[in-house]
Each structure stands twice: as structure tokens, then as C-alpha cells.
Amino acid sequence: MKLHFKLALAAGVLVAIAGCMAAKGGSGASGDAAQKVYVKPGEHDKYYAFLSGGHHGNVYVYGMPSCRHITTIPVFTPEPAVGYGVDEESKAMLGGYTWGDAHHPGLSETDGDYDGRWLFINDMPNARIARIDLSDFKTRQIFGPIPNLSAAHACPFPTPNTEYVFAASRFSVPVPNREVKIADYATTFRGIVAGVKVDPKDGTMSLGFEILMPPFDWDLADAGKGPSHGWEFFTCYNSEMAHDSLEVKASQNEMDYFAAVDWRAAQKAVDEGKATMINGAPVLDPAKVPGIVYLVPVPKSPHGVDVNPTGEYICCSGKLQAEVSVYSFAKFQKAVEAKAFEGDRFGVPVLKFADVLEAKVPVGLGPLHTQFDDKGNAYTSLFLDSQIAKWKVGPPWGVVDKIDVYYSIGHLMASEGDTRHPTGEYVVALDKLSKDRYLNVGPTHPEAAQLIDLRGPKMQLLYDFPTYLEPHYAQMIRAEKVKPFTVYPLEQNSKPFAIKRAEDARVERKGNRVDVYMLAVRTHFSPDNIVVHEGDDVYFHVTNLEQDDDIAHGFGISWSSCNMQIEPGETKTMHWKAGKPGINPFYCSNFCSALHQEMQGYIEIRPKGAPVASLQRPKPELTAAVAAEIGH
């Protein structure tokens, strides 16, 4: 999110920004930094880092500490090289959308630690959550658009056993959405918090509950753990309920809030039938169902909310304040038990600031997000100061170190930093502006990320690496926890259109529909000559029979947008519409072998009504060659 202008206007700190920019420059790194990021050729990194792709709609995978970009996982956006959004399965998963704005990767957890099973990530504008399976680094489910909810920014932030992922609305809308006046915002618009259940066996997401919230802009979230397990916390801005000129009007109140949601109580209320169905979602109204959500005042337009590794403290950063407000979960519970409320907003009880606050830590200007290490320290990003402040969690609560970053840091990611056991080795600054740090590539600058060593008494800048647009948040997991397989075992391929024997390769037609059961193996497609009618709907079901590492085949068709990659052992289906009578070539688009260039074929398109066999088989010599290649 572009906070720059909003903050400058609202806080009147333009001078502060200009001043701090002018003071920057120089490398910041020194001494033994190069050795600390060096991973010898052929050796592997210690951590996987998953960086959100922002409005690129995907996930970038980096190795740490080398900061090498290893791959990009397509999630919400079509990707032509592998045919994501082109083959029938992934096309259906994208649901007609061709973009997403992905902000927050959320690794699955067991007992509050990353378990390496799945990675969840939000698409804010379209209110969707994707699940990437880390057994093959593929997007396997896109859940949503979640009904009634607009712009899932506080999302997905999994709970300690991945019981739930969450989505909260950044932009309130009428619930249910209908024809209303924008001017009726405060009476008609509502926020929504959605609890999305995750199946513990296979990760499948389904809607658990929705809670009707005040029409504020729900911003970020984090799950409780340890003593605060069972709760999810959400910050908001715009408790003023402005619907225009937000950069001024939404910064009037001294206090906004964080909301604390008791997700077990919410689920129980739904199971007991206390919800109203709206657009197919069970919606709970806190005015009618007490005990599921509370509000706690937070100074000055908070952004990040982060629970410390022990689960005792909730750290909120007021963007327009130079402090992190640290709340005690124990005090929160006490205040709830005592019903010490100072009124309510839309039926949600409001607790007293002083009752729940534990400490105020004066970190510096523009605090946004906080991460943690294994030694009881917190690290808060300072957008306006372009710094990270390291501070002690617990008395005597105070800043112990600061480091400059280049420039205007948003999120930061510590190694296993959202878990109960951060490793305290690294933090990566995810900077919003790179300005002069890289070769000039024109007006669109790359994003800037910086690796910082946390192991010494002082933070040490090790390395700068540019990224493509536009990581917001990221997570870093120990590499040994992630064990993806490198080929799909052919015997486990149960796709309905898969074929595994040379003699099963064929073309079948029924009416205008043509099904091509095709095999790909070095270095042939079988069949490689196909006859269709103009206008036919042709479905290519391509099975890659390889079982060797790194032997993917491509299948691309000339004069079309049809291309896909088929990995070893995999079957994919792609639709192609036959054009005018003539000849249309296809080929293997993914380099696979010495004779890759020979891996090609032709489609013969005949006029409507011309004779075309309803069953076509490849020439016997091709079938024999494929059989020889695969052993049967």
C-alpha cells in the first residue's frame, strides 16, 4: 500500500521525509557481509523465503541467505510459460479473473510453528484466498470471492494449527450489496470478518462464519498463540467512517481500534444456528450474539498488529504516532471478564485503552510492522524514518538498536518470525522505494529488499536484492521443513483423461467435440498428425510419461494463445478451437532433449462436412517408437 502521501498529508511530516531522504546514501554494508550471503555453486540455501507478488498476483520464491530468486509460483494471474490459467483446471480455478493483488503469504502451522505443508495468500481486491501445496509448489485452490466482503487485506494470517485463515474487509460495502447512496455510508455500509476453515488433512478451505463489523477499514491481522490461542486480532483505520478524502478525514480520531475475535465462540454460534444467511454465508451480528468480538482503542491510524512469540502481547503500530502500543492479553481477558466497557460501536463492546495497554515503546516515525527473534526482541519497520528499530519485549521496554534501510520500508520478514520459535538469524526489509540502489531501468524502479543479519549485538546489513512488483509481506521457513517431490509418480496419476500406454494414444470425436489423448515422451508426441473440422472444440489431454527429474515437455499451438507445460508424470487438458481449413502446427515449447526441436506435429483442418474419422490412431511406427521408449 502506498502510504507515502497519505502519511505526509495527514501528519504534516513532508519536511521529515525530505530531510531523512537527503541524509541517506552510501552502501550501508561492510566488512564480512559478502561471506555471510555466499552460498557456494551447487550448494543450497538454508531458508526458503516466500514473497508476495503484490499486484503481479503471484508468489516469488527466494533462497536465503543468498537472496537468489529460485522460482515464481503463479497464483492469481495467468502465466503463459507453464500455461497457468490456460489448461482447463487452472483456468477454472482463476474463475475468469486475470489479476489479483497478493499481500500476505501465510505458511501453515502446527503447534504455532511452520510445518511446510501449505502456503496461503490473499487476493485483496477480489476477496480470495489461494492455497499453494508445498509438496509441488502449485496453487491447488482459490477460495472466493468470499461473499459480502470487499477487499480482503487483513488476510490470511493462519491460526497456530491452521484451523482457520481469515479475511477482513478493507473497503466496507452494503451487506447485502444493493443500490444505495455512497452518502449513506455510516448507516448502510458494513465491514465483514470471515473465518475460513481449513481441512486438516488436505488443506481444503470452506467458509466457517462471517461477523458483521462496524464500517471501518479493517487493515491487518494476526493470530493469537499460547495463552491467546483461539483469538484473532484485526487493526482498523477510518473509525471516522469517512467515504471520501480519507487521507484527511480518516485521520481525525485520536483512537482507532483493534478487534479481538474469539473464533471458537463465533464458530459455536454458527453451529447453534445463531447466524443469518446472507448470500450463502452464515453472518453473525455482534449486537445479537455477544461475546464473539471486542474492540480495543489504538492511537492514530494503526497498520500492523503482531502477536509476540509467547502469545502474551499484541503489538500495534499507529502509523501517525512514533510509538508501538503493546497490549497485554492477560489484561484484555480481565477487562472482558469484568465487562469494563466504555460503550459499543455497532454492538461491539469497546474496552478501555488504559485497561489493556501494557507499554508504549517510542520506536520512531511511521511504525508499520513488527517481527520477532528468539531472544525476546522485536523489530519494527519505520516507514518515515526508513529504519528498523530493535526493541526489548518486556521491562524495561525500550529501543536497543536501529539500522537504516533504503528506502521507506513497509513490511519486514524475520526468519520463522511469525511462529512461536523465531530463529533470530535474519530479517529482510521489504522497502517500498529503491530510488538509486540499482541500474536505472526507466521510471518503473524495481522494489528493494535487504537482508539484515540479526545474530550480532548490532543489526548488520548484508545484501540488497531487487524484486519485481511488488512484495508486501513475506515469510521465511527453514528449508528442511519443505520437501517437494520432483516428478509426479505415474502410477498415482488418476486424472480421468490420463493414458499411460502407447496404444492408448488416439483422437476421438463426437459432434463438434474432439478429444485428443496424447502422450509426450522424448522425443515425440503421439499422435502427431491430427485431423479435425473447422470450428471444432478440440481438447488436448497430454500425459507426460517421463519419470526423470527436470524433463518437462511443452505443448504449444501456432496462431493461438494455447501453450502449457506438462511435468513428468502429469496430465493436463487444454482447449483449442479449430480455425479455418488449412494446416496448423504444434510443438514442444519446453527444451527437453537433443531432439527437442523435432518434437512437433500438425493439425489438418478440413472444411465442415468433409470426411473425418471419428477414431484416429497414430501410425504403427510411432506407437512402436513410444512403446520402445517407455517399455510397454
Residues that bind ligand K7E (CB under 6 A): 1, 103-104, 153, 220, 303, 368-369, 410-411, 472-473
Q: Of 385 and 567, which CB lies nearer to ligand CUA in the complex structure?
A: 567
Residue 518 binds ligand CUA (CB under 6 A): no
Q: Of 121 and 592, which CB lies nearer to ligand CUA in the complex structure?
A: 592
Least distance from ligand K7E to the Cβ atom of residue 368, Å: 5
Least distance from ligand K7E to the Cβ atom of residue 154, Å: 9
Least distance from ligand K7E to the Cβ atom of residue 258, Å: 15
Per partner kind, with CB cut-offs from 5 to 8 A, the member of ligand K7E, ligand CUA, none near residue 1 is ligand K7E
Q: Of 509 and 553, which CB lies nearer to ligand CUA in the complex structure?
A: 553
> Cα angle vertex 590, ends 589, 596, to 5°?
85
Cell numbers for 78: 495467468
C-beta atoms surrounding 440 within 10 Å: 7
Peptide bond into 98 cis (omega under 30): no
Q: Of 412 and 566, which CB lies nearer to ligand CUA in the complex structure?
A: 566
Q: Kindly list the distances between the CA atom of residue 469 and the CA atoms of 55, 99, 160, 254, 430, in Å, as whole numbers in the listed order.
A: 7, 13, 30, 34, 12
Q: How far apart are CA 415 and CA 607, in angstroms?
A: 62
Residue 596 binds ligand CUA (CB under 6 A): yes
* Strand partners of residue 428: 413, 451
Least distance from ligand CUA to the Cβ atom of residue 503, Å: 21
Q: Which DSSP state fits 119?
A: E
Q: Of 152 and 241, which CB lies nearer to ligand K7E in the complex structure?
A: 152
| Binders of ligand CUA in range 244-283 (CB under 6 A) | none
Q: Of 383 and 586, which CB lies nearer to ligand CUA in the complex structure?
A: 586
Residue with cell 496419476: 493
Three-class DSSP category at 269: helix
Per partner kind, with CB cut-offs from 5 to 8 A, the member of ligand K7E, ligand CUA, none near residue 5 is none
Q: How far apart are CA 283 and CA 266, in angstroms?
A: 10
Cβ pair 48, 446 in contact under 8 A: no
Per partner kind, with CB cut-offs from 5 to 8 A, the member of ligand K7E, ligand CUA, none near residue 117 is none
Least distance from ligand K7E to the Cβ atom of residue 303, Å: 6
Cβ pair 326, 343 in contact under 8 A: no
Q: How far apart are CA 14 and CA 10, in angstroms?
A: 10
Least distance from ligand CUA to the Cβ atom of residue 596, Å: 4
Per partner kind, with CB cut-offs from 5 to 8 A, the member of ligand CUA, ligand K7E, none near residue 599 is ligand CUA
Q: Of 155 and 213, which CB lies nearer to ligand K7E in the complex structure?
A: 155
Q: How far apart are CA 530 and CA 423, in angstroms?
A: 57
Q: Of 106 and 601, which CB lies nearer to ligand CUA in the complex structure?
A: 601
Three-class DSSP category at 443: coil
Cβ pair 341, 349 in contact under 8 A: yes
Cβ pair 76, 100 in contact under 8 A: yes
Least distance from ligand K7E to the Cβ atom of residue 470, Å: 8
- Total residues at interface with ligand CUA (CB under 6 A): 7
Per partner kind, with CB cut-offs from 5 to 8 A, the member of ligand CUA, ligand K7E, none near residue 541 is none
Q: Name residue 186's amino acid.
A: A
* Strand partners of residue 525: 520
Measured in whole angstroms, the distance separating CA 370 from the mean position of its chain's CA atoms is 19
- SS3 per-residue string spanning 312-329: CEEEEEECCCCCEEEEEH
Per partner kind, with CB cut-offs from 5 to 8 A, the member of ligand K7E, ligand CUA, none near residue 473 is ligand K7E
Least distance from ligand CUA to the Cβ atom of residue 485, Å: 21
Q: Of 104 and 117, which CB lies nearer to ligand K7E in the complex structure?
A: 104
Question: Helix-strand-coil percent breakdown of the chain, rounded to 5?
Answer: 15, 40, 45
The four Cα atoms 192, 154, 293, 381 give a dihedral, to 10 degrees, of -150
Which are the contacts of 99, defined by CB distance < 8 A and separation ≥ 6? 55, 57, 76, 77
Per partner kind, with CB cut-offs from 5 to 8 A, the member of ligand CUA, ligand K7E, none near residue 103 is ligand K7E
Per partner kind, with CB cut-offs from 5 to 8 A, the member of ligand CUA, ligand K7E, none near residue 303 is ligand K7E
Residue with cell 469517512: 242
Least distance from ligand K7E to the Cβ atom of residue 1, Å: 4
Q: How far apart are CA 62 and CA 451, in angstroms?
A: 12
Per partner kind, with CB cut-offs from 5 to 8 A, the member of ligand CUA, ligand K7E, none near residue 46 is none
| Binders of ligand CUA in range 157-196 (CB under 6 A) | none
Q: Of 6 and 522, which CB lies nearer to ligand CUA in the complex structure?
A: 522
Q: How far apart are CA 213 and CA 197, in angstroms?
A: 19
Q: Of 410 and 618, which CB lies nearer to ligand K7E in the complex structure?
A: 410
Q: Of 387 and 590, which CB lies nearer to ligand CUA in the complex structure?
A: 590
Per DSSP bridges, beta strands 387-392 and 399-404 are antiparallel
Cβ pair 225, 250 in contact under 8 A: no
Q: Of 128 and 303, which CB lies nearer to ligand K7E in the complex structure?
A: 303
Closest CA to 219 of 411, 32, 456: 411
Least distance from ligand CUA to the Cβ atom of residue 629, Å: 12
Least distance from ligand CUA to the Cβ atom of residue 540, Å: 14
Least distance from ligand CUA to the Cβ atom of residue 556, Å: 10
Least distance from ligand K7E to the Cβ atom of residue 301, Å: 12
Per partner kind, with CB cut-offs from 5 to 8 A, the member of ligand K7E, ligand CUA, none near residue 410 is ligand K7E
Q: How many residues does the chain have?
A: 632
Per partner kind, with CB cut-offs from 5 to 8 A, the member of ligand K7E, ligand CUA, none near residue 29 is none
Which stretches of 134-203 are assigned E, i.e. beta strand? 138-143, 152-154, 164-169, 173-174, 189-198
Residue 38 binds ligand CUA (CB under 6 A): no
Least distance from ligand K7E to the Cβ atom of residue 440, Å: 25
Q: Of 595 and 624, which CB lies nearer to ligand CUA in the complex structure?
A: 595
Least distance from ligand CUA to the Cβ atom of residue 599, Å: 4
Closest CA to 105 of 141, 158, 149, 64: 158
Per partner kind, with CB cut-offs from 5 to 8 A, the member of ligand CUA, ligand K7E, none near residue 319 is none
Per-residue contact flags (x/-) with ligand CUA for residues 598 to 627, judged by CB under 6 A: -x----------------------------
Q: What is the C-alpha radius of gyration for the chain, rounded to an integer number of angstroms?
A: 27
| Binders of ligand CUA in range 534-593 (CB under 6 A) | 553, 588, 590-592
* Strand partners of residue 255: 299
What is the binding site for ligand CUA (CB under 6 A)? Answer: 553, 588, 590-592, 596, 599
